[in-house]
Amino acid sequence: MVTAMDVVNYANGLVGKKVTVPTNPYGGQCVALIDHIVQHFTDGKKNLAYVNAVDGLKKAKEMGLIVIYNNPNDPYLLPEPGDFFVMNDPHSWGHIGVVVSADVNGMHTIEQNIDGYRDDNGNGINDQLEVGGGGYTRKNYRDYSNVIGWFRLPYSDQKQKEGKVTVEPKTVGEDLFSGLTTKVDPNIMNADSNRATVNLIVIHHNAGTSDENARRTWYKSTGIGTSAHYQVTPTDIWGCVGENYVAYHAGDYGVNQRSIGIEHLNSTGARSWQIAEETYKNSAKLIADLCRRYKLPIDRKHIVGHREIVATACPGGIDIDKLIRMAQEVANGAVKETKVEKKEVVDMFTISAKDRGIALMTGGVFYSLLDAKDPENFWNQGVPHIQVSPKTFDNFQTKSNVDKLDDETVNKLIAGLKK
């Protein structure tokens, strides 16, 4: 069967030529190029005969091809190599071409008849308006202005090869995280929504060997003012600040706006500040997933250490070149699926503290439990419980709440839970 790269390579071979089809008397029109390619790879069983470019999606749908409609509000909805993009401008009959590669900013394409006015025969008439006229096939680059969607042939490589990261992102509350995330820290982190297009991944180290202590420094309640999107350890990929929010990790707000910050738990202390091999593996899988979704090359231009942004010792002893090589192997299918156990995101749990009763935390919201039956009902459904200090309990609560279970009832419930 045909692959997406078969189409891209074939289209590249047509650059510089005027591609025509018998069903289009106007010669090298944009749609003639796509009609020719579609007929070539379907043995003539499918075609775009007598179709204006702007109607390409409709025709593709009628032929049973995969059709994706562009959504300008979704920056992560992008065409793939081998797709045929369709525009409703610059003319009423639209425009169409082949996607070679694409990222959030635009796409490299192969198109025909995009030269505007041409008069190769010297008769004073625009070639595009003459029988047998039209333009030539050439390479181009354009943004997504007026792109209404794209369609593709049933490629044999539509599903990515085994071993590549193919998980889809997950949403927890209002936060967007990688589907590889194993846990989400429910505490409110330092962040804001003034996001720009993501085009960079910044690598950090904790400068410490305590996962909990590292994440605690990013809580808004601490007043420290830093944060990160992810915390990677040998056993977990923690979601901290959603990718759709700005995390304060790079020491440069402009970089923060357009980047993903990944922190790593150290396995050794000063001065080496190394990370464990399993942490490398988990981070490489996360990086490969991020680069796939944001259409970023896995290279040193797009994956940098914190010290490359500002003067700092971070990311310690992390070998970024090694990390990039490992991420490239994941993306190329050379590494089997992540060994990190896929755990359910902890987004609901109960907490208790002396003189504070029991509360339910879910989606970052605090709820006091006022009936002694309620905690047991939650625990019977597998909701975890955490005993915390009154100070931490008050930090979760963020406001005075007189209504609570009495300490005697709480102690009996907790005693029953521990049996």
Distances, alpha carbon 119 to alpha carbons 26, 122, 125, 138, 374, in Å:
14, 5, 6, 17, 81
- Among 23, 83, 13, which Cα is nearest to 48's? 23
**pLDDT tens-digit readout, 95-151:** 999 998 887 778 899 998 886 555 566 766 555 555 445 578 889 999 999 999 999
**Structural domain boundaries in the chain:** 4-152, 170-331, 348-418
Give the separation between CA 348 and CA 187, rounded to whole angstroms.
12
Bridge partners of 303?
201
**pLDDT tens-digit readout, 185-244:** 999 999 999 999 999 999 999 999 999 999 999 999 999 999 999 999 999 999 999 999
Please give the CATH number for the structural domain made up of 170-331. 3.40.80.10
Bridge partners of 261?
202
pLDDT at site 321? 96
DSSP H or E segment with residue 406: none
pLDDT at site 164? 41
Residue type, 404: K
pLDDT at site 227? 97
- Among 78, 37, 86, which Cα is nearest to 57's? 86
pLDDT at site 396? 74
pTM over 0.85, yes/no? no
Residues of the chain with pLDDT under 50: 131-132, 157-166, 336-346, 399-401
Structurally, at CATH architecture level, domain 4-152 sits in Alpha-Beta Complex (3.90)
For residues 31 and 51, the answer to whether their CB atoms sit within 8 Å is yes
